[in-house]
Structure 1
Amino acid sequence: MSLRHYLFPEQEPPLRLSQRLVEGLVAGTDAMPQYAGTRQKILTARLQLDEGKPLEILDTSGSTWTFDGTGGIREGLHSSFAEVMSSLGVSESSNQTVVDLRPRISKKKIDTEHRWQPSTADIERVIKDIWPKTKADRLHQAAGVSKRRPPLTYDAKHALDEIAGGFWKIENSIDNLKEPSLKGFIFEARTRSSDDPEYGLLYQAVAEMAQERFEILRAQRSDKGVWYALVEVTLWQDHIGECVERVFEKCSGKGAAITTARRLLAANANKFSENVTVEAELLTELEWIRRSKLFDA
């Protein structure tokens, strides 16, 4: 089976969305600035394939994507998913799930804001694109902003996997060093980057990692500077945790961050249950920069 996605702008011909573009939009690595700040209708057709060729359309569905100010949809998808899950509801006798953590939203609102019903003409237009009889039957393909990736061959992927397999050892070794040891480590790594040209770039990368770790440790010792108070609500199932809600605030100084973290923890304490934990954490600005990248990963 395969999915085909189409965008139906108002007063404009529909556009075909490549799988690469859709994956990029969902992952947050691509965008469509031409639709920034708008809501657009998306028709998805699920196809049965025969040796890679479309055999028949199994079903179609209409959804609405909300594009942010830069033309991305990731934030809108997260909001839509949360509202759809909330509309499902859970009885008090059933096990706790993520939907217990959010207000109940009516299914009517979900249908109005996040779904639409493609017309027969809409579906027929998609059919023409899937099985074109003339050149005019093919729809134009929508464009994103990311460049097409070069193909990743098996050899290239295998090489990357082999190299990345030892990354954890490098990070673990650096994280175990104290500040005095890190100073010597950084100096020696940078010296070796000049003395050993064959691995100079690798030594430079290791030195940068150690420098970042050194700056984090120094920031943790200071009560001043930018700090972040973070509270995460985590749903646990079969010993696997999934963050279902995250609240944070930027603070000036460690003391303010501690006070803010306590307030956020108290405000979200009611979400704690048998399989839901609520945890607070303090992060320096450098730690926040690294952590916030993982939020969207």
Structure 2
Amino acid sequence: MASINSNVAAMTALRALTATNSSLVQTQSRISTGMRVNTAADNAAYWSIATTLRSDSSSLSTVQDALGLGAAFVDVAYTAMDEAKNIMTKIKDKLVAAAQPGLDRAKIQTEITELQSQLKGMSDAATLQGQNWLSVDSEAAGYNATKKIVSSIARSGGSISVQSISIDTSSMVLFDASTEDDGVGIIDAYRDGTTGERYATQPGTPAATDFRLSTMNISTLTDSAAHLATLDGYIKAADLAISEMAAGATTLGAAKARIEIQQSFVSSLKDAIESGISQLVDADMNAESTRLQALQVKQQLGIQALSIANSSSQSILSLFR
């Protein structure tokens, strides 16, 4: 039945054209943004997952910065510790030379004093961002010998936690300005005059033969048996200090290696997350370009179909001529 009130063919063609235009807008949006899930309306589940992953990826970027800064702290401490070990080796060499009877130990002490000052100055200078791991004050408020470097983040059950690498710096302290212990660092701690062993804490009353590497003085020593025994204690102490510094440098070296491994892992993890986000929300440009061509043809055909349907009602006029 031909009707001027309802053009069923035109309404059908219009609905088809509207659907085609809607699909065309969606495809053009995907091509322009490169994403098939750009808002929550596109796919709420994927959008939510991708948003969380983007947040984690951003946090991992911050972790990478923290690891880089942590590596810098370790590098500064290691460089200073390694140089301190070299200086202590020179002091030991001077002490061994002073063991030769008849030498002018006062002149040798002049060189040792300069090296002692160099140790203190270098330890104080090993500072980065206000942190110094070698020259400390264990009595200072908030002091903690265990240093933490943010290394990663972990998400479990919707909650996130920060993971860190802990470095115990107590074994690498060269100078400690603590007034209570009056110095328990490798250089400024009291040492046994016979064995050269370092006291972990200060003795109540140091023995007359006890000494510190930071202030020891051989200028007044003679060739007497007692003085040569004192000099032997100094040599033993210097040798032990070198071993203690080597142990501290080993700790720093192991920490540096771990940080480098973690940096590589975080970088790979960040790449994996970015890949996961891409799989969820990125548009397949090959498929979308093909779809665009098809929809454009479909749109043109829809327009022609609607035009034909609209023109069919005009034929009714011929019945009244």
Please tell me the TM-score bracket, short chain as reference.
under 0.3
- Going by fraction, where is strand more abundant, 1 or 2? 1
The normalised TM-score by structure 1 is 0.17
Q: Which structure has the higher relative contact order (CA within 8 Å, separation 6+)?
A: 2
Indicate the structure (1 or 2) with the bigger Cα radius of gyration: 2
- Going by fraction, where is helix more abundant, 1 or 2? 2
